[in-house]
Amino acid sequence: MPPVAATVPELLDARATEHPDRIALHVVGGGELTYRRWREEALRAAAGLAAAGVGPGDRVVLRFSGARWDRYAVGFLAVQYAGGVPVPVREDLSEEDVAALAASAGAVTVLADGGPPAVPGLGELDLDALVAACPRTPAGPPHRVGPDDPAQVIGTSGTTGAPKGVVAAHGNLTAGLAVRPRHRAYAHSRYSLHAFPIGTNAGQVMLVNALTAAPTTLSLPRFDAGRFGAAVEEFGIGTAFLVPSMAIELLNAGTPERYDLSSLRLVNSSAAALPVPVAAALAAALPDVTLVNTYTSAEASPAQVSTVVDPRRPGSLGRPADPRGLRILDADGAPLPAGQVGEVWLRQPGPARRYLDASGPGGRVFRDGWVRMGDLGRLGPDGHLYLVDRESDVIKSGALKVSTLRIEEVLHGHPGVADAAALGLPHPVMGAVPVAVVVAGPGGLDLDGLRLYLGSRLSRAELPVRILLADDLPRNPSGKVVKHRLRPLFDAPAGPAGAAVAPATPTELRLAGIWRRLLGRPVTDVAAEFFALGGDSFRAVQLASAIGEEFGLRAGTAVVFERPSLRAQAAWVDRRDRRPAAVAAGAAGPEDVPPFLAALRAQPHAVALTSQQENFFRWMAEAPGRDAGAVSALFRVTDRLEPEVLGRALTEAVRRHPALRTRFEPVGGGVVRAVLDEEPRARITLTRAPGATDAEVDALLLAERDRLTDLARDPMTRLLVVSRSETDHVVLVAAHHMVFDGWSAGVLLADLGVFYSALRRGRPVPPARPGPGYRELVEWANGHWPVSRAHFGAALAGAPEAVERFDGRRDVDEVLTQAHEFEVPAEVARALRVRAGELGATPFLAVAAAWTGLLARRGGSPDLVVMTPVPGRPRPDAERTVGCFVQSLLLRVDASGGPGFAELVDRLRVVYGEALDHQLYPFAEFSPSAPFAAWIRYEAWAAPAQLPGLACAPWELPRGSTVPWPLPGGDRGVPELTVVERPDGGLRCWLQYNALAFGLPVITGLAEEFTAALVAACG
C-alpha cells in the first residue's frame, strides 16, 4: 500500500522526484511552475526566511495577487519549509480585516510579490528577492515539520461578519493522501481549471490538488465567463472547478454556446449548494459532462459530502463514503432520525481544525473531531443529505420556518432571472418575512410576471413580500452572497430599543435552546416573547410539550399563552415541583364508543380512517342524502393550455397520493370499509364552449363542483376544463372531502403545476420528496386518541347543543347554504393585530373573542361551544401529505359576567390552548355533544392557483351549495364565520348561512355588528 503523506512539503518532495519536469501550475496569461522549480525555489526562499528570523511556528502573512498564483505557491511552501505557518489573505480584504487577521494570528512578517500594500506594523519580505539571494538550492529545508504542526491559517468566507482565522495542521491537509498513489485524481484530464482567489478554502484545495492530482492545474487571475470558456477551448480542459455563482454567470453569458467546451468531462461545484434549476441548466448545456456537487467549508475541510448531480434526487448533496462521518443533531446535540431537520455535522479526518481565538465560537463549531456546518439539513431514507438552509438565513414567518434556499431555487428557475438572493426582514406581526433581490437577465424582467411565477411554485409563507432589482449581488471571493449588505436596500426598521439581557440561569438557557429549536433563531433577550419572535398556536403546542419533557413536569399551552416571555416561562418552571409528567387518564374503552363507530372500526380497512373521515360517515349515516361534498380550486388560464396534458398531470398526482386512490365500499347499515386502488383514477372532463359567457361557464363549474359522488365507484378526484378559445380556459380541480381537505388542496395544486410543466416538455414527473407515508401518519395521529378523550369528555360535559335563541332564525329541516361577503378595512385589521399583540394573543384569538362575544349577546346565553378547524398536521414532515387530516376543535366558551374583550381573549386562550394540546382526538365521538356548534374559520391568505409559465388569474364561484340536504329535527345552527387575511392587511369575510332559515337582512346586520365589535375591541 502506498505510504500516506504526513506533511505538505512531503507531497512536493515526492512529486518533484517523480515528475520533476512536469508542469504543476500554469496561470492563464501568466507564469508557470514545474515541480522541480517549485521545490527548488521554495527551498531557496525558505533559507532566506530562516535567515530573516522566521522559525518553527511563526506566522507569515502571504499577500499575492491572483495573477501570481505561481509565485504564491512557491511562497506557501517556502514558509512551510522554514517551519513557519502561512497566513494567505485575499486580495479583496480591507486593510482593517487584513490587519485584524494578522494580529489574531500573531504574524511576525509579510511575504509578498510587491503587489498589494504591506500590512501596517509588520515588516515585508519580497519572495523573488529571497529566491535570488540564494542561488544554490539547499540540500534540505531549514526545518522539517510534522503532521501535528500547523500548516496554514485560512480566513473564513466572512458572509456573516469579519473573516475568522481557521488553523489547519499538516495532517489535516494531507488526510487520506498518499505520497505516490497508484492512481492520481482526475487522470482523464491533461489540464484542470479554476478561478478561485488566493486565501480562500477553495483556493487551498486547488493548491493541494496541484501537488497530488494528475493534470496540470490552470488558474485564472479572476473569474470571467468569457475567459473561462476561452481557456477551456484553448487548452482542452478536461476538469473544471466552480462555485455556484460562476456556474450562474457561465449560463447567463451563454458560454456553452459561444465556446467549444466539448473537452470537458467533469465539472465540480463547491462552496455553496448548487441550486436545482442551475444544476439542471448546466447539465443540459454540457450533456457530456459529469456534474459533481461538493459540500464542505473552511472549518470542515477536507471533510466533505460529494455526489454526482442526479435529477432523480433533486437537491441531494450525496452521502459521505463513510456514513459515520455525517450526522444530523438537534439543538441539544442529540442525533435525529432520517427525515427530521437539524444541524449538519461532519467528522474531520486527521487532526481537527480550530479557530485562532480560543475564546471565540469554536466550542460551538468544533467538537471531538466533528464540525458544525452552520446549516440545517435532513437525511433521506437512503442516507443522502438535503440542505434546508443556513441556520442564520432561515426565516421564521408566522407559523412556518421558511428556507431561503428554497426561494432562491425557484427564483433561479425563472428564465428572466440572472441571479437572486432571498433573506428575511423583521415584521411586527409575522416576526420576519421573506424578501428577495434579483438581477435581471439580458432580456429584462417583469416583476409582476415574476410574482405570478412565484405564486404557482411557493407557498404563501415563502412568497417574498418585496422584490428589488439590482445590477449585481455582493459576493465574497468564494461566491457566496453577503446578505447583510442587502438589508439596507429595504430600509429595514431598527430593532427594539433598550439593552437586551441574555439568558443566564440554567433554566433560561435550557428554555432558550428549546425556543431556538422551534423558532429557528437564537434568543438573545429574556424579555423576548414567543409570539413576537414568530411563534404561533401550533408551535405553542410543541413548546409546551418540550417544556414538559425537558423539565419533567406537566405543562400545557397555557404556560406559553399566559407567559409568552422567556423570563416568565423560566420563572414558572423554577416555581414548579419537579415531578414526572403524568399521562392523561380516562381513555374510553370499547364500551364507551357509539355502536355505529364500533361497527365502522371493526371493518378491515386498507388504511385506518382519520378522525374526520369517521365523523363524515357518522354524519352521512344519520340522514340519507347527505354528502360531505368536494374541496375545489378554480382558476382561469388566458394562454395556450394543453388540457389533455393537464389531465395526465392530475392522474400522476393521484398516483402520488394514496388518499386520492381510496374508495369506500358499503357493508350495510351505513358502515363502509376503505379500499385502496393500485392504479390512479380521476374524472377528467374537457369541454369546449366557444364564446360561452361567464354565467354559462359558472353553470358548468357549479354542476361539476356540486355533483354527488358514489364513494364506492366514482373517482375521488376530478378535473373540469372549460375552453372558450385556444387562449381562454377555466379550470376546476376538486377532490371529495372524504379524502381531502383545504391543506391538501395547496399540496395538490403545487404538484399539478410541477407535473404539468414536466409532462408538457416530455419529461417524467419529479420523484416524491422523502417523508412519512400516508398510512404512517394516520396511525400516528390516531395513536393520540386515548389521551385526548379525557380532555374533551370533561370539557363538553353538559355543554349546550346549540345557541338556542337567535333572532331571525326560522324553523326548517333542510339546509341550503349561501354566503354573504364583506370586508374589514386594512386599518381596522392592523389595529386589531396591535391589540392582540398587546394582549399576548394571536389575531385568530382576537377575532374569535369578538365573534363569540357577539354570539353570546345575541343568543342571551353565556355558555356556548365554538368550533374551529386546524390542519391536523402537527408534525412538520406531514405538510406535503394529502388526506382528510383536518381536525375540528370544539371550544367551550364561558361568557358569563359580560366579560370585556381582554378577559374574553384570556378565557379563549386557555380553552384554545388546552384543545390544541389534545387536537388529535376522535371527533366523531364528541361532535354529537355539540351538533350545532358555532363555526369560525380563520385562514391566512393564499396565492391563487397557477400553472408554471402560463398567464393565470383567479376565478371564483359563489360560496355555498346548489343542492339542499336534509336535517331531521330541524336546523338550530347559526351562520358560520370565515375570515381570510388579505395581502394588503385587510380581512375578507364571509357569513355562510342556511338560506332557508335566515333572510339576507339578518345576515347583513350580523356582518355590520361583527365589524363594529372589531372596531370596539381596538379601542
* CA nearest to 452, candidates 954, 960, 999: 954
Can you tell me the mean pLDDT for 124-146? 91
Cβ burial of 3 (10 Å; 0-12, 13-18, 19+) is exposed
Sign of CA dihedral 770, 775, 777, 779: negative
CA angle 709, 711, 713 (to 5 degrees): 95
pLDDT, residue 875, reads 66
Grid cell listed for 23: 508542469
pLDDT at 359 > cutoff 50? no
pTM of the prediction? 0.51
How far, in Å, CA of 954 to CA of 521, rounded? 36
pLDDT band at 352 (very low <50, low <70, confident <90, very high): confident
- In angstroms, the CA 836 to CA 833 distance is 5
- What pLDDT is attached to residue 438? 93
The stretch 790-795 carries a mean pLDDT of 91
Residues of the chain with CATH 3.40.50.980: 1-22+34-180
Note if the bond before 968 is cis, omega within 30 degrees. no
pLDDT of residue 92: 74
Asked whether the beta carbons of 434 and 465 are under 8 A apart, the reply is: yes
Kindly report, residue by residue over 697-748, the tens digit of the pLDDT.
Answer: 999 999 999 888 899 999 999 999 999 999 999 999 999 999 999 889 888 9
d(CA 226, CA 203): 21
Measured distance CA(564)–CA(561) in Å, rounded: 6
Nearest Cα to Cα of residue 14 among 177, 168, 163: 177
Alpha carbons 910 and 635: distance in angstroms, whole number: 40
What per-residue confidence (pLDDT) applies to 499?
Answer: 63
Tens-digit pLDDT profile for residues 535-590 = 766 677 778 777 876 888 877 766 776 576 788 889 889 887 554 433 333 333 33
What pLDDT score was predicted for residue 278? 86
Looking at the chain, the number of H-run helices and the number of E-run strands are 30, 40
Whether 496 has a pLDDT exceeding 50, the answer reads no
- Section 312-337 average pLDDT: 84
How much is the CA Rg of the chain, to the nearest whole Å? 33
Higher pLDDT among residues 764 and 362, named by residue: 764
Residue limits of CATH 3.30.300.30 in the chain: 393-490
Amino acid identity of residue 432, one-letter, is A
Question: What mean pLDDT comes out for the span 868-895?
Answer: 86
pLDDT of residue 253: 86
Q: What is the mean pLDDT of the chain?
A: 85
**Residue 797 burial (CB < 10 Å; 0-12/13-18/19+)?**
exposed
Query: Average of pLDDT values for 493-522?
Result: 76
Distance CA 877, CA 772 (A): 7
Superfamily classification of domain 506-575: ACP-like (1.10.1200.10)
- Gap between the Cα atoms of 908 and 886, Å rounded: 21
Is the pLDDT at 490 greater than 80, yes or no? no
Cα separation, 870 vs 937, whole angstroms? 9
Topology of the domain comprising 1-22+34-180: Rossmann fold (3.40.50)
What's the average model confidence in pLDDT over 299-309?
87
Percent of the chain with pLDDT over 90: 43
Q: Is 639 left (phi over 0), alpha (psi -120 to 50) or beta?
A: beta
Whether the pLDDT of residue 178 is over 80: the answer is yes
- Among 111-115, 277-281, 873-877, which stretch is predicted with the lowest mean pLDDT? 873-877
> Per-residue pLDDT averaged across 335-359, rounded?
83
pLDDT, one tens digit per residue, over 183-211 is 899 999 999 999 998 988 889 999 999 99
Q: What is the mean pLDDT of residues 933-952?
A: 76
Q: Which residue has the cell 421564521?
A: 396
C-alpha cell at 574: 423554577
**pLDDT score of 12 more than 60:** yes
pLDDT at residue 117 in the model: 57
Residues sharing a CB contact under 8 Å with residue 498, sequence separation 6 or more, in sequence order: none
**Sign (positive/negative) of CA torsion 602, 604, 610, 613?**
negative
Angle, CA of 144, 145 and 147, to the nearest 5° = 140
Residue 460 pLDDT greater than 60, yes or no: no
pLDDT tens sequence across 416-446: 898 999 988 765 445 567 889 999 988 888 7
The three three-digit cell numbers of residue 845, written as one number: 384569538
CA distance 795 to 918: 11
Residue 58, pLDDT > 50, answer yes
Q: Which of 2-16, 40-54, 256-270, 989-1003 has the lowest mean pLDDT?
A: 2-16
pLDDT class for 15, splitting at 50, 70, 90? very high
Domain 393-490 fold:
GMP Synthetase; Chain A, domain 3 (3.30.300)
* Residue 540, all three cell numbers: 405553542
Q: What is the pLDDT of residue 536?
A: 65
pLDDT exceeds cutoff 90 at 884: yes
Q: Which fold has domain 782-945+955-1018?
A: Chloramphenicol Acetyltransferase (3.30.559)
Mapping DSSP onto H, E and C, the string for 277-315 reads: HHHHHHHHHCCCCEEEEEECCCCCCCCCEEEECCCCCCC
Predicted local confidence at residue 37, as pLDDT: 96
| Predicted confidence (pLDDT) at residue 268 exceeds the cutoff of 60 | yes
Residue-wise pLDDT tens digits, 626-659:
888 899 999 999 999 999 999 999 999 999 999 9
Cell numbers representing residue 372 in the block = 458544525
Residues 6+ apart with CB under 8 A from 321: none
Q: How confident is the model at residue 252 (pLDDT cuts 50, 70, 90)?
A: confident
Q: How far apart are CA 952 and CA 235, in angstroms?
A: 49
**Angle, in degrees to the nearest 10, between helices 201-212 and 8-18:** 40
Q: Is 290 exposed, middle or buried (0-12, 13-18, 19+ CB in 10 A)?
A: middle
Residue 458 DSSP label = S
The fraction of the chain above a pLDDT of 70, given in percent, is 90
Give how far Cα 63 sits from Cα of 71, 118, 127, 355, 752, Å: 10, 8, 10, 21, 55
DSSP 1006: H
* pLDDT digits 0-9 by tens, 953-963: 889 888 877 77
Q: Identify the pLDDT of residue 680.
A: 95
Q: Are 954 and 611 in contact (CB under 8 A)?
A: no
Residue 1015: partners with Cβ closer than 8 Å, 6 or more residues away: 828
| pLDDT at residue 993, as a whole number | 94
pLDDT of residue 324: 86
Cβ neighbours around 603 below 10 Å, total:
14
pLDDT above 80: residue 839: no
pLDDT grade for 492, boundaries at 50, 70 and 90: very low
Task: Tell me if 74 sits within 8 A of 45, measured CB to CB.
Answer: yes
Range picked from 393-397, 548-552, 652-656, 781-785 for highest mean pLDDT:
652-656
Task: With cut-offs at 50, 70 and 90, classify the pLDDT of residue 683.
Answer: very high
What is the Cα–Cα distance from 228 to 436, expressed in whole angstroms? 29
C-beta atoms surrounding 173 within 10 Å:
26
Q: Quick one: pLDDT band at residue 494, thresholds 50, 70, 90?
A: very low
Q: Mean pLDDT lowest for which of 49-53, 761-765, 1005-1009?
A: 761-765
Angle 447-455/404-412 helices, nearest 10 degrees? Answer: 120
Rounded Cα–Cα distance for residues 330 and 343 (Å):
6
pLDDT at 921 > cutoff 80: yes
* Per-residue pLDDT, 918: 87
Report residue 676 as a C-alpha cell: 385502496
Q: In 3-state terms, the chain is what percent helix, strand and coil (to 5)? A: 35, 25, 40
877: pLDDT confidence band, cut at 50, 70 and 90? low
pLDDT classification of 848: cutoffs 50, 70, 90: very high
CA angle (877 as vertex; 875, 883 as ends), nearest 5: 80
Q: Which CATH architecture has domain 591-776?
A: 2-Layer Sandwich (3.30)
What is the reported pLDDT for 645? 95
Query: DSSP string spanning 72-134?
Result: HHHHHHHHHHTT-EEEE--TTS-HHHHHHHHHHHTEEEEEE-S-SPPPTTSEEEEHHHHHHH-
End-to-end CA distance of the chain: 82
pLDDT of residue 66: 83
Residue-wise pLDDT for 1009-1018, tens only, equals 999 999 998 8
pLDDT of residue 587: 34
Q: How many residues does the chain have?
A: 1019
pLDDT for 474 equals: 87
The least confident of 330-339, 391-400, 617-626, 635-644 is 391-400
Q: Alpha-carbon dihedral of residues 158, 163, 164, 166, nearest 10 degrees?
A: 80
Contact 752, 646 (CB under 8 A): yes
Relative to beta strand 662-668, strand 671-676 is: antiparallel
- Whether the pLDDT of residue 358 is over 90: the answer is no
Lowest mean pLDDT among 237-246, 301-310, 472-481, 795-804: 472-481
